A and B are shown apart, each in its own frame.
Chain A
Amino acid sequence: MAPKRTEAISKEKILQALEDADTTFLKEDPLGTDMVLNMGPQHPATHGVLRILLRLDGETIIKAVPEIGYLHRGYEKLAENMTFHEFIPHTDRLDYLAPLSNNVAFVLAVEKLAGLEIPERAKYLRVICCELARISSHLVWLGSMAMDVGALTILLWAFREREKLYDIFDVLTGVRFTTSYTRIGGLAQDMTEQCEKMIWEFIDQFPEKLQECEALLNKNRIFIERCDGVGVISKEEAIDIGLTGPALRACGVEYDIRRADPYLIYDQLDFRVAVYDGGDSLARYYVRIQEMRESVKIVRQALEKIPKGPIKAAEPKQVLPDKERVYTKMEELIHDFMVVNFGINPPIGEIYRAIESPKGELGFYIISDGSGNPWRLKIRSPSMVNIQALPILLKGQMISDVVAIIGSLDPVMGEADK
């Protein structure tokens, strides 16, 4: 009796000596066979500030608990204190790898709430922006995932292509990166001839550059061994845990909002939805590569069919007028003043609108009380729900697979933490 009791007490005291303000332990046999490892918020491979606590038995993971909130910036509270137009630059910083996509999502939701119809040319331009943003986001995913698994060349090639996209965004919107390009009722400015030429040049040479990257990875024994059969999730589990986007399509579920609930002009375009079976990291890789090729096809079709015309809706009480008219005409000056200071005043009600962002289903739930500020704005972020699936994906894998799995899931913390 006596020796067992002292052994338990000495274990207890060692644990108490190790604990401090930052560290806690799981008290079930931690000095026995299990070990707790902290993949902290600052880590080269966690794609941002994500903290994962792993309980290990040797090298195998028994349980994993992700912790988020290190980048919580209070978006929803900020949105209640500013008008709808003032919130557009904030939506850039949500999924900061594809800012144009978030801009389009937010403005679509507000236009549904206000009941605005936008002109055709604006719709085509928004589709081009969304698809270019998808390509740029997937390029970062490709570079990071390949780097995490060990293939460093792909990172530099992917960023070289991304620089060309930055040049296009520079000419189209004025900024390399956080663009704030869309406005309620249309877009900020029109696409010039030079910009159109640059987009054509880019999509003409992009497929063969993608082919170069694929040639390095697709038949590579190391890459396939590290990704095949790693991080498997079944179809029912994926739907139950709320997974959306490429990760869900890699389980065999054909759910793409561009087909299921079409917005803008996607119902008039011809493209395939990439669906693979298997639910492991390799399937997610194939889905995203295929998506990049389909995006190139969509941009080509949109550029061929784009009509000429205005890019802002003609609704003076809710759409910001052009700057030249504001400076010279009285009517437009008054409307500009009213819209900027008091907001667009949509009718009382609530809507939910989702689009297919590169990470999954990005949705905005807006409750309006008739004034210029929203009463409640909820952002349904795909990354937060995708990270919730990590404990299922990580169970039973080895430590070195954690990086490959997070890479294939592609979370963005700016979105997950709002």
Chain B
Amino acid sequence: MGLENLMGEGFLTTRLESLINWCRKNSLWPMPMGISCCAIELMAVGDPRHDIARFGSEVMRFSPRQSDVMIVAGTVTYKMAKVVRKIYDQMPDPKWVISMGACASSGGMYRSYPVVQGIDLFMPVDVYVAGCPPRPENLLKALMEVQKKVQQGRMAGRREPLMIE
């Protein structure tokens, strides 16, 4: 993680770290893992009414190598879990994960044989968003919570997830 290793502790470096975190939080590029119905609300977050571009997430990068935050939107089945984990591993650090909707957070209304009851069984999660599907304003609030986390410099390994109602 290049920028962190450049310098040690001290007043100037904490100022610099703040500056870097501010830059990072205002240009979070999401990687939309849009699997089912929540993906449509994810597309609606990008439309002219609830503009996600004003939060700095100008482009929805579909390539994991060029994105910061992964938004898992939809029901994850056992067949798809391998693929989601692979894409998560391909993202470079620092990275954050938003689990959007009831199905991704806990299996949702599908208590059945092929559905994974929550993506936190196989990958770390930063923010959970409730709703089936959550309104776009909810997702924007989740993005703002991730921005708060980025500003405080917390990321992989030292994360406590937050719940958005």
Q: A125-171: which residues lie under 8 A (CB-CB) from chain B?
A: 140, 156, 159-160, 162-163, 166
- CB pair B36–A93 under 8 Å, yes or no, is yes
Residue among B40, B87, B109 making CB contact with A42, cutoff 8 Å: B87
- CB pair A74–B47 under 8 Å, yes or no, is no
Contacts of A93 in B (CB 8 A): 36-37
- CB pair A48–B35 under 8 Å, yes or no, is yes
| A77 within 8 Å of B (CB atoms) | yes
B64-104 CB contact bits vs A (8 Å, 1 = yes)?
A: 00000000001101011011100100000000000000000
A99 to chain B: closest residue by CB: B37
**Quick check: which of B12-20, B111-119, B149-157 contacts chain A, the rest being far away?**
B111-119
- CB pair B113–A74 under 8 Å, yes or no, is yes
B46 to chain A: closest residue by CB: A159
- CB pair A160–B47 under 8 Å, yes or no, is yes
- CB pair A44–B82 under 8 Å, yes or no, is no
- CB pair B47–A71 under 8 Å, yes or no, is no
| B122 within 8 Å of A (CB atoms) | no
- CB pair A71–B112 under 8 Å, yes or no, is no
Contacts of B133 in A (CB 8 A): 177-178
| B48 within 8 Å of A (CB atoms) | yes
Interchain CA distance A365-B39 in the complex, whole Å:
29
Residue among B34, B49, B82, B132 making CB contact with A163, cutoff 8 Å: B49
Interchain CA distance A329-B144 in the complex, whole Å:
48
- CB pair A78–B112 under 8 Å, yes or no, is yes
Interchain CA distance A237-B10 in the complex, whole Å:
73
| A200 within 8 Å of B (CB atoms) | no
| A209 within 8 Å of B (CB atoms) | no
Contacts of A49 in B (CB 8 A): 35, 80
Interchain CA distance A342-B85 in the complex, whole Å:
42
Q: Give B71 Cβ to nearest chain A Cβ, in Å.
A: 13
Interchain CA distance A71-B41 in the complex, whole Å:
18
- CB pair A41–B80 under 8 Å, yes or no, is yes
Interchain CA distance A100-B34 in the complex, whole Å:
21
A57-77 CB contact bits vs B (8 Å, 1 = yes)?
A: 000000000000111111001
- CB pair A178–B83 under 8 Å, yes or no, is no
A97 to chain B: closest residue by CB: B40
* B40, B49, B62, most chain A CB atoms within 10 A: B40
- Number of A interface residues in the complex (CB < 8 A): 34
* Interface class of chain A by DSSP: loop
Q: Give B51 Cβ to nearest chain A Cβ, in Å.
A: 10
- CB pair A22–B82 under 8 Å, yes or no, is yes
- CB pair A176–B35 under 8 Å, yes or no, is no
- CB pair B37–A73 under 8 Å, yes or no, is no
Q: Give B100 Cβ to nearest chain A Cβ, in Å.
A: 13
Interchain CA distance A90-B132 in the complex, whole Å:
11
Contacts of B135 in A (CB 8 A): 176
- CB pair B48–A72 under 8 Å, yes or no, is no
Interchain CA distance A159-B36 in the complex, whole Å:
18
| B44 within 8 Å of A (CB atoms) | yes
Interchain CA distance A44-B63 in the complex, whole Å:
9
Residue among A41, A43, A72, A78 making CB contact with B62, cutoff 8 Å: A43
- CB pair A71–B33 under 8 Å, yes or no, is no
Q: A71-B77, A73-B114 are in contact. Are A40 and B83 (CB under 8 A)?
A: yes
B31 to chain A: closest residue by CB: A42
Q: Give A415 Cβ to nearest chain B Cβ, in Å.
A: 10
| B43 within 8 Å of A (CB atoms) | yes
Q: Give A198 Cβ to nearest chain B Cβ, in Å.
A: 16
Q: Give A17 Cβ to nearest chain B Cβ, in Å.
A: 20
| A252 within 8 Å of B (CB atoms) | no
- CB pair B110–A78 under 8 Å, yes or no, is yes
Q: A68-116: which residues lie under 8 A (CB-CB) from chain B?
A: 69-74, 77-78, 89-90, 92-93, 96-97
- CB pair B40–A73 under 8 Å, yes or no, is no
A74 to chain B: closest residue by CB: B112
| A413 within 8 Å of B (CB atoms) | yes
Q: Give B63 Cβ to nearest chain A Cβ, in Å.
A: 9
Contacts of A414 in B (CB 8 A): 36-37
Q: A43-B62, A159-B48 are in contact. Are A73 and B75 (CB under 8 A)?
A: yes
Interchain CA distance A193-B79 in the complex, whole Å:
47
Interchain CA distance A96-B101 in the complex, whole Å:
14
* B36, B75, B109, most chain A CB atoms within 10 A: B36
Residue among B39, B79, B110 making CB contact with A70, cutoff 8 Å: B79
Known: A22-B82, A73-B77, A74-B114. 17 other contacts (CB 8 A): A42-B83, A48-B36, A49-B80, A69-B79, A70-B35, A70-B80, A71-B35, A73-B110, A90-B109, A97-B40, A140-B40, A156-B47, A156-B48, A159-B43, A177-B40, A178-B132, A178-B133
Write the residues of chain B forming the contact surface with A, with a CB cutoff of 8 angstroms: 33-37, 39-41, 43-44, 46-49, 62, 74-75, 77, 79-80, 82-84, 87, 109-110, 112-115, 132-133, 135
